[in-house]
């Protein structure tokens, strides 16, 4: 997350990226990086991991070749 937030900050400072002020709630966690961007970098990886774990559980697939 630190790498992506650093990249976002750099891209915003160099005018390669921006956030429309009409589309965000205007709470910045870093200079010009909105809260929504921080939450994006938390929520998306978390949902991927939870989905992966749910699929492992539902399919019964064992990653290490363990028998059930």
Q: Measured between alpha carbons, how far is 31 from 13 in angstroms, rounded to an integer?
A: 9
Q: What is the 3-state secondary structure (H, E, C) of the chain?
A: CHHHHHHHHHHHHCCCCCCCCCCCCCCEEECCEEHHHHHHHHHHHHHHHHHHHHHHHHHCCCCCCCCC
* Span 9-61, pLDDT tens digits: 999 999 999 999 999 999 999 888 999 999 999 999 999 999 999 999 999 88
The pTM score is: 0.71
The residue extents of the domains of the chain are 2-58
């Amino acid at each position: 997350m630190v790498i992506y937030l650093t990249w976002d900050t750099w891209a915003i400072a160099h005018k390669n990226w921006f956030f429309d002020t009409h589309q965000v709630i205007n709470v910045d966690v870093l200079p010009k990086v909105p809260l929504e961007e921080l939450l994006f970098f938390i929520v998306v990886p978390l949902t991927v991991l939870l989905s992966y774990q749910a699929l492992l559980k539902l399919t019964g697939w064992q990653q290490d070749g363990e028998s059930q």
